[in-house]
Amino acid sequence: MLSPLLFAALLLFPSIHATKIKYCDKNGEYAVKVKGVDMSPDPVVRGKPATFRISASTDKAISGGKLVIEVRYFGVHIHTESHNLCEETSCPISTGDFVLSHTQTLPGYTPPGSYTLKMKMLGASGHQLTCINFDFKIQLGSPFADS
């Protein structure tokens, strides 16, 4: 099961690297504006902890909802997962800036290569608050890497 892979793909941080994001709909009017995604390490190393940190802002208070994550490996859909928004940040979310953050250790069998993560944030009533895509890489662990 690739569940750990997916969530490592959702929210990734020893060196911080800003990742280029794209909105799913370039002309979409999203209530949540994503400012950036920081990953550490970048590239992600399987078998080692990785953190995704998504900085965003909202013009409306958010009482709850969910994150829907889809992961593609070299363009092929491999996993979809949902998470309670309030488990990834403090709820309720007030207007202004907030951060979603998650740390995950990828299993040693995770294949190295290029991945794309699509994240949809849905409000408590199921309406879409934002939708972004970003790319990341996973590399093999090194026996000489620091623990």
Tokens found for residue 84: 């309670």
Task: Categorise residue 55: left if φ over 0, alpha if ψ from -120 to 50, beta otherwise.
Answer: beta
Percent of the chain past pLDDT 70, that is, above it, reads: 83
pTM of this structure: 0.78
Selection from 134, 141, 137 nearest residue 100 by Cα:
134
> Are 69 and 27 contacting, i.e. CB atoms less than 8 angstroms apart?
no
Q: What is the pLDDT of residues 35-68, one digit of tens each?
A: 999 989 989 898 888 888 999 999 999 999 999 9
